[in-house]
Structure 1
Amino acid sequence: MPAVSSRTALQLLMLLALGALLLGLGLCVGSTGWSPWFGAQAFPDDTMRQILWDIRAPRSVGAWLAGALLGLAGAMAQGLFRNPLADPYLLGCSAGASLGVAALLFAIGLSPTATALALRIGMTGAAFSGAVLAVVLSLVLARGVEHGLRLLLAGVVVGVVLGSGAALLTLINQDALRAMQAFMLGSTGFVGWSAVQVMALSLGVCLLVGLGCSRTLDALTLGEDTARSLGQRLTLIRLLLIAALSLATGAAVAQCGLIAFVGLIAPHLVRSWGPTPHGALLLLAPLTGGALLLAADIGARWVIAPQELPVGIITALLGGSYLLYLMHRRGSVLGGAR
């Protein structure tokens, strides 16, 4: 495991403190807006305690974990493909998850057998299965992991095809349109403690894999030939990283739906604080992604309470605004250098 510098340790502590603060705020915001959990009148009855523990707490922790998974997956994807615009959905995970959910909703009502199977799998299982299917198809089309560009193109093709399939199934089954819309826009409203356990376990496994491969990611920044000359086993490392980022993305998407920009923006924010090796990036990006998504989820609950915005809309607005800011800043720097 890579050593942690004093600057990275300070950033870790600050991000952990920010996450703890946001978790406290998440417990204070419910369907009616601001209702704090602290103070003498915080728990007037057992119902409020149950709301706090069974609804707000798992939702807040789950939002943080989903953001952490997406931030980690984005950091691994950008390092693996050496592309700052790579995101966790690059290998078609989002389209595969959408197809899985659309197929589940389409199967319900076709026959008693299909309905029973669909209910047994559930939306979470269908989304995760679809995400895994998309990654496997991308690997098959790319004929392995040796060629990064071919894998990228295969992911794009798989995403387009599976996304079209999901759209077709939704068009045929109009009753599924509302459920699919909620999935496509992202929501943490249905996250329970079982989902929190799944995401926490996935985060731990993926983080260990990523940290174990961090030196190879650093070597890849110098080029594939240089990485091979340094003795890095690129084929094995690529397989491990693709498996880890697919697991991280699939776990987050299966529990919270499609949430845009978190996996793309979190690594960029970390790099904007200064030069960061991948060992530190893979620690800081999950904490940043968790804080981003949890803050967006708190905003989604509070802005128009008692109604609620889909959290994916807020992350898209924040992420798009940040990318526009980066474009403007870099354009100004380039313009001034002429």
Structure 2
Amino acid sequence: MRKKLWWRLGAIFLLVPALLASSGCKQSAKQAKAPEKKAELMKTPYKNEEFATGTYVEILIYDKGHGEEDFEVARKQLKELAAKFEIYEQGESELDKVNAQAGIAPVKVSKITFELVKALDKYAKTSDGYYNPTVGVMTHLWHIGFSDAQIPSEELIKATLDKVNIDDIVLDTKNQTVFLKKKGMVIEADGIGKGFIGEQLLKTLKARGVTTAVVNLGGHAYTIGKNPDRKDGAWEVGIANPTLGETQDSPLVGVLTSQHTSFNTTNYYGRYLKVGDKVYSHLFDTKTGYPIESDLLSVTMVGDTPYHDDAYSNALFNMGLEKGMKFVNKHDEFDAVFVTKDKKVYISEHIPGEFELLDKTFKVVKGVAKE
């Protein structure tokens, strides 16, 4: 195993660093008020890990003198954001309240939730609908990833089609309200929520004087500063073999080295339903109401804006290899690695030479890889 620090992407569980991290130390008030002082970085970071927002969240801080107080602020922020964004059976969150009033009345939400919904709406439209936050009615019907998941009747599936439409999201900036035009519509933050929350946590840590850190939200890693384990400061990200039965000990397809700071993976088998020999992904074709059929196993989006990259990792996956590759190659601000079902790896043209293939049962067919 490599002894350098790397992160596993494509796994459905917590990303695991190759180096062990120490527990956070107590941060003094004097230290907290002096972010302008030159940072002293450690080889072994302080570590905090817990389950929040429906996934395992891990934060690593490399700045000496930081730690527990920063983690406590982050834990509080995570709890507050989850209370606003998560979709609960009890109907407690702000998005739950928006969904409950679909087709009835606009709902006033907090500033941060309104900002999230604006982002949901924006990326749905700029991705030509390949990312669609109103897909909630379909995900709730199939409930893939839960013990009661099953194939719904054709009648129920067809009934969802007219409730999935990004044009039916109405935002009122002046009154800070969100309205879904049709009863039964469900808006959800899946596909952008982790990136959005990750970005908020990064802002908070930076404001507290943290200069080097990693925020990992179950398959999505976001960084501050440079990797202290490399002279060039680049981060190394392990892309796991995105196959059924994957665990944290699954072999890596390869390692991506990048100066970017945001790494997001959408995986076909992130959640799935298997009936006989047929596997249904948790990702949906909004035109049919059925789980999407794709030539891809995973897409890893590499950029510098967490929620932007999170949204597009989903959009690119839904586009499929050909459309997805054309799309990403038109944008200089992010890169991507595509892994296909026939065990081939395609690398966008902006990052040749930065992907090292480790699993030789896969083949790099586009892009330059180290042998």
Q: Choose between structure 1 and 2: higher strand proportion.
A: 2
TM over 0.5, yes or no?
A: no
Higher helix share: 1
**Whose RCO is larger (CA < 8 A, sep 6+)?**
1
Shorter-normalised TM range: under 0.3
TM-score (norm 2): 0.26
